[in-house]
Amino acid sequence: MIPLLLVALDTDLTALRALGGFFALRTGEPPNGPLPTLAQAYTARHTGGDEERFGARADPLGFRVRKVADSVRTPEARVAASLTHQGLVARLWAVALGSAALYDHVPDLDPALLRWDPDGAAPDELWLTEVRARPADAIGEVVREGHLAPLAAALRERFRMSERLLRGNAGSALMGALRQLERWSAAGGRPDVRDRARGLAADLLAHPGLSDTLDPATLRRRSCCLYYRVPGGGLCGDCCFDRPPSRH
């Protein structure tokens, strides 16, 4: 058996950079001025935005949904909200699963510690202001309770999103992160990272919050992310449909 070759969790999360930009996480304070936290993003509509500090980003979630809608040219807010959700959740799963597989620890991704630029792209959109190590088996609590629950609640209230769709996004995003780690592990000769990531992902997908999101035989999702409704869009690789349903 090949031993698990772990590295220590460092304050710059250096090892994550080797996995690619989607897995990397900036640390410290953003250099170009203050950004709202994800905690603020999940509650901004209730607490009131801080327009003086953050300007248009005072409502980061609404800003991001509008940005995505403009980018894919969709007039449907719930389509843009679903794509926004999928993108952010995929980033969080990638950081957490990559850290757990490489470090045997995950950084505490408390929403109050993560600053978010809703106008940015990976890896520059997220900044972890303080690196605090937690054991790898805390990954579910860190992502599921820390982010999936409050983010889904905000999107359901603001954009009338389906809970089943959001859980499907979360399951699909987790599987996407695992596949990327498997490819990296195969290319770099790191079966230890692959096996650890697989074990963690299997435990996460067995949790009641995600257990019915993917078909166990095909690993295709059991709900649709609505990408087919984007002008010129089609089906995702793990879509539950074999052909796009009628838009009417």
Sign of the C-alpha dihedral, residues 165, 153, 170, 184?
Answer: positive
Full-prediction pTM beyond 0.95?
no
pLDDT tens, residue by residue, 58-103: 899 999 999 999 999 999 999 999 999 999 999 999 999 999 999 9
Return d(Cα 231, Cα 70) in angstroms, integer.
11
pLDDT tens, residue by residue, 113-131: 999 999 999 999 999 999 9
Short-list 148, 184, 163, 142, CA closest to 78: 163
Omega of the bond leading into 123 within 30 degrees of 0 (cis): yes
pLDDT tens, residue by residue, 170-181: 999 999 999 999
What are residue 21's phi and psi, to 5 degrees?
Answer: -60, -30
Residue 192 above 90 pLDDT?
yes
